[in-house]
Structure 1
Amino acid sequence: MSIVTDIPAASPAHALAHFEAIMQHETDCWDVHHALQGGARDFVLLDVRGPAQFAAGHIDGAVHLPHGKIVAAKMADYPAGTLFVTYCAGPHCNGATRAAIRLARLGHAVKTMPGGITGWIDEGFALKQLPAAA
């Protein structure tokens, strides 16, 4: 017996429930890129980092809304049932999770993109930069 099998694997039914639950809460960089490139804009991508980070490089099509500024008044313009996907700097950053909590508390459907900008770059996808201020 190895350390891998010391604790038995979950039953297939439990494994299915577990992994489906993960996918209800998360998406990945490749899936977001594929959806954006294919024109499937059935979600709002939120970059929840600070203004300087957003200006330095963000995902094209993302809406900039730092997680601390997610409040009912700012979310009122979005139709009920809108799915939000939040991202921040990467797996070392909890901003996407903080944003997801705020959105869920306001009654919005939400998933996180755990790889964030780091994962996006790791996949070889381009970032958009804001023009430098004159």
Structure 2
Amino acid sequence: VTGFGLLGHSFEMAQGSDVELELNVDAIDLIPEALEFANMGLLPAGMYRNRTFAEPGVDAGVIELCKQDLLYDPQTAGGLLMAVDPADADALYAELQGCVPSAQRIGTVREYRGGKRIFLR
């Protein structure tokens, strides 16, 4: 996931697939130093552009602003966001952990109910 940050790309996926996503922020491995910088307000300009693009479709719940900022940050380079059938999720995750130790299971996809597309929990 690059350029639009995790939330920008998640929002595009949700719109394009006509679904909504619930993301478990605690399951996302945020770099502690990046979180520290975000908490100080040291953020790239691209984060603000990404927030402007995707925020109308995001329900951030009670997630701290500094964590939200990191999820909009365009520097989330190197990641890959994928959605799989729930019946295949456990097997795929187990297989990925063998070759991609940083693999994370961060959320669920569900039928779109109208309104926001991304829900942070």
Q: TM-score, normalized by length of structure 1?
A: 0.28
Query: Which of 1 and 2 has greater Rg?
Result: 1
Which has more helix, going by share of residues? 2
Higher relative contact order (CA 8 A, sep 6+): 2
Normalized against structure 2, the TM-score is what? 0.30
